[in-house]
Amino acid sequence: MQTIVLATQKGGSGKTTLAIGLALAAIQAGHTVRLIETDAQGTLSNWQSRRPYAEPMVEPIYAAGDFEQRLQWLDRSGVTLAIIDTAGGVNAATTAAVRYADLCLIPARPSIADIEATASTLSMVRAWKRPFAFILNQTPIRGQRLSNAANALGEEAALDVSGVVATPFIVMRNDHQDALSAGLAVTEYAPSSKSAEEIRGLWQWVEAKLNAGAAIQDEPFVGDVQEAPLAPMFVETPAEAAAFVA
Ligand SMILES: Nc1ncnc2c1ncn2[C@@H]1O[C@H](COP(=O)(O)OP(=O)(O)OP(=O)(O)O)[C@@H](O)[C@H]1O
Ligand SMILES: [Mg+2]
């Protein structure tokens, strides 16, 4: 099983929308997917209660200490992809989820506030040495603002934009909101639309990145063992987590 975590402290950047979009694109590509909700807001559970289908199941995990066992159990149950949607802000559940990520996806709208807000998530992801990528979401269709935002994210990570900013960018389109109201993902709600095409393209980018990560993990280990710091496993309060990523 592979595990994707959607995380950034900025509220409303699209974590839940993208988790749902990617989940359905992955199912349509043959995966058995479990959506994991760590956000007490319950946006994912509410979406599932409006949904006319049972799949994908939404499973809440709120306690940081529950992740390891639940993920192992899902793996044994035949789930091939777990997608974890986290709450805005910084908390113990998010730091624990990131610990188990094969890929951490950090959504950002093309605004300075969203881009700046990715910094603490990036520190946490790097502390755990997890693969990551940014997703530019709710973008205009075109314009200089887009490449400026992508470059700013690349600079923040001090990495080449092409490896670290997922493509395509996800344009601001009503389909995303209408699909969620109907308990659907855009690839179900409007399968031939631009929004669905973008999400399928994003899934392909994410899948390639996951596979590249798996290939690296399969390589024989040479060199020193570098354990990630233990602190995030034991943070109990948002204040402790914030202190860790500060
Ligand atoms: N590409 C998009 N186009 C149009 N609307 C979008 C898009 N992505 C997200 N939205 C809308 O923006 C709002 C916030 O998105 P979402 O709930 O996914 O963000 P979030 O990061 O999960 O927020 P929170 O931090 O509160 O959990 C929702 O109303 C959603 O429908
Ligand atoms: Mg959300």
Ligand nearest to the Cα of 199, by number: 1
Looking at residue 85, its pLDDT comes to 98
E-assigned strands of the chain? 2-6, 33-37, 57-60, 81-85, 103-108, 132-139, 170-171
Let me know if 170 is exposed, middle or buried by CB neighbors in 10 A (0-12, 13-18, 19+). buried
Residue 219 lies in a domain: no
Q: Evaluate: CB of 12 within 6 angstroms of ligand 1.
A: yes
Residue 197 lies in a domain: yes
Looking at residue 242, its pLDDT comes to 46
Whole-number average pLDDT of the chain: 88
Distance 105 CA to ligand 2 centre (A): 13
Residue 246 lies in a domain: no
Residue 235 pLDDT exceeds 70: no
Residue 42 lies in a domain: yes
> Which tokens is 79 given?
């789930």
* Atom 23 of ligand 1, residue of closest alpha carbon: 12
* Atom 31 of ligand 1, residue of closest alpha carbon: 177
- From residue 165, give the alpha-carbon distance in Å to each of 80, 98, 209: 24, 18, 11
Q: Which CATH number does the domain housing residue 158 bear?
A: 3.40.50.300
% the chain with pLDDT above 70: 87
Please check whether residue 45 is in contact with residue 36, taking contact to mean a CB–CB distance below 8 angstroms. no
Looking at residue 90, its pLDDT comes to 80
Residue 180 lies in a domain: yes
Bridge partners, residue 37, by sequence? 60, 85
Using pLDDT thresholds of 50, 70 and 90, give the confidence band for residue 232: very low
Q: Evaluate: CB of 94 within 6 angstroms of ligand 1.
A: no
% the chain with pLDDT above 90: 78
Q: What is the DSSP letter of 64?
A: G
In a 3-state reduction of DSSP, which class is residue 190?
Answer: coil
Q: Read off the pLDDT of residues 159-218 as tens digits, 9 standing for 90 and up.
A: 889 889 999 999 999 999 999 999 999 999 999 999 999 999 999 999 999 998 765 554
Q: Read off the pLDDT of residues 29-39 as tens digits, 9 standing for 90 and up.
A: 999 999 999 99
Residue 230 pLDDT exceeds 60: no
Residue 87 lies in a domain: yes
Residue 238 pLDDT exceeds 70: no
Q: Read off the pLDDT of residues 120-154 as tens digits, 9 standing for 90 and up.
A: 999 999 999 999 999 999 999 998 989 999 999 99
Distance 75 CA to ligand 2 centre (A): 24
Looking at residue 191, its pLDDT comes to 98
Q: Give the position of tokens 């006319």.
A: 52
Q: Read off the pLDDT of residues 64-79 as tens digits, 9 standing for 90 and up.
A: 999 999 999 999 999 9
Domain that holds residue 141: 2-214+224-234
Number of domain units in the chain: 1
How does 140-151 read in b/e, with b if 16+ C-beta sit within 10 Å? eeeeeebeebbe
Residue 40 lies in a domain: yes
Residue 241 lies in a domain: no
Distance 60 CA to ligand 2 centre (A): 13
pTM of the model: 0.90
Q: Give the position of tokens 């994707």.
A: 4
Looking at residue 219, its pLDDT comes to 45
Looking at residue 66, its pLDDT comes to 95
